[in-house]
Structure 1
């Protein structure tokens, strides 16, 4: 590949990079199919490529999605799972993106839109942008996730020190968490 910078960027994204990122690092749109035919990279989806020598992992779908939507935040039940606060596998990947951004619908992805401020309630976890535990709990409650699972997730978050006093106050303002968790 031309440009060690692109390789370094792809390494941060578990081997994934976009057509736009390749172009920004000096690799033309026309060069990508040639690299794919040589076996150096593979085409994953529209605008998304992957280094072929990079090992495939269990969360590859998340890293691929983040490469396509670096402005997005894994949220709701997906965030609870990534924080280790839930054992339930969500029926879809929950991704919150800014209201002004564009991202085409993808199978298995439930998009949520936020006006402003969502970037203040996210943390980088294993290279993925993830909603904070309190934000994930509140968002999951808002969409009607299983109350028992959410109460248990809140208890785990509290016992692991993932919730501040301010977070506990925010949770206690929600009817679901008044008596169950915090």
Structure 2
């Protein structure tokens, strides 16, 4: 029996390692923890309940983007961290979002007061993973910020940082500008005019 418990714990920690220490009740069941066992681990401080059906290993070291994993799990892996939250996670620009920005499929029905939902379908080429969280690529993030913000100084801070860090080039942004609305294309033109390729 102790060997079985140790094997379960090992599988749980292996999963949690990929998700910044987080895991869901459904994932725990798949590993072999009954709902009764889950309650036991929460009651005894082995797991921390973060939200309904979402747990975290209490001693897991904290990272700057850990909370983003929690929201991807909350969405049942249907959301992608995007827009302001993705820019902040990459350290781009002056954005400091008070809410978590997620891109979700058009039929997504969940909501939470601390989440801003952007509806759309992202191609696989615009999605990556950062510290366990599904997140838009730097290029997609830049395009989303250009589209969603009118403050050109703020947009320029994101674009400049993305180009300076090598995450994208001005040329790559220009090649994808056809995806933007007419106003956002004009904004991008003005911002890129001051950016070196």
Question: Structure 1 residues 10-19 or 50-59, which shifts more?
Answer: 50-59
TM-superposed CA distance for 1:88, in Å, is: 2.3
Q: TM-score, normalised by structure 1?
A: 0.86
CA change 1:76–1:145 in 2 (3 A) is farther
Q: TM-score, normalised by structure 2?
A: 0.80
CA change 1:105–1:46 in 2 (3 A) is same
Task: Give the match's secondary structure for 2:35.
Answer: coil
Question: Structure 1 residues 80-89 or 13-22, which shifts more?
Answer: 80-89
Aligned equivalent of 1:148 = 153
Larger radius of gyration: 2
Determine if the alignment matches structure 1 residue 75 to structure 2 residue 82: yes
Question: C-alpha deviations, 1:122-155, integer Å up to 9, x for none?
Answer: 2222222221222222222322352211122212
Aligned equivalent of 1:90 = 97
- Contact 1:3/1:26 (8 A) holds in 2: no
Structure 1: which 5+ residue stretches go unaligned?
Answer: none
Determine if the alignment matches structure 1 residue 22 to structure 2 residue 25: no
- Contact 1:78/1:94 (8 A) holds in 2: yes
CA change 1:25–1:49 in 2 (3 A) is same
Task: Give the match's secondary structure for 1:176.
Answer: helix
TM-superposed CA distance for 1:11, in Å, is: 1.8
Structure 2: which 5+ residue stretches go unaligned?
Answer: none
CA distance in 1, matches of 2:158, 2:147: 15
Determine if the alignment matches structure 1 residue 139 to structure 2 residue 150: no
**Pairs within 5 Å for 1:171-182:** 171=177, 174-181=185-192, 182=195
Query: Number of residue pairs matched?
Result: 180
Q: 1:52 aligns with which of 52, 58, 68?
A: 58
CA distance in 2, matches of 1:44, 1:131: 24
TM-superposed CA distance for 1:46, in Å, is: 0.6
- Contact 1:3/1:25 (8 A) holds in 2: no
Task: Give the match's secondary structure for 1:99.
Answer: coil
Task: Give the match's secondary structure for 1:117.
Answer: coil
Determine if the alignment matches structure 1 residue 122 to structure 2 residue 135: no
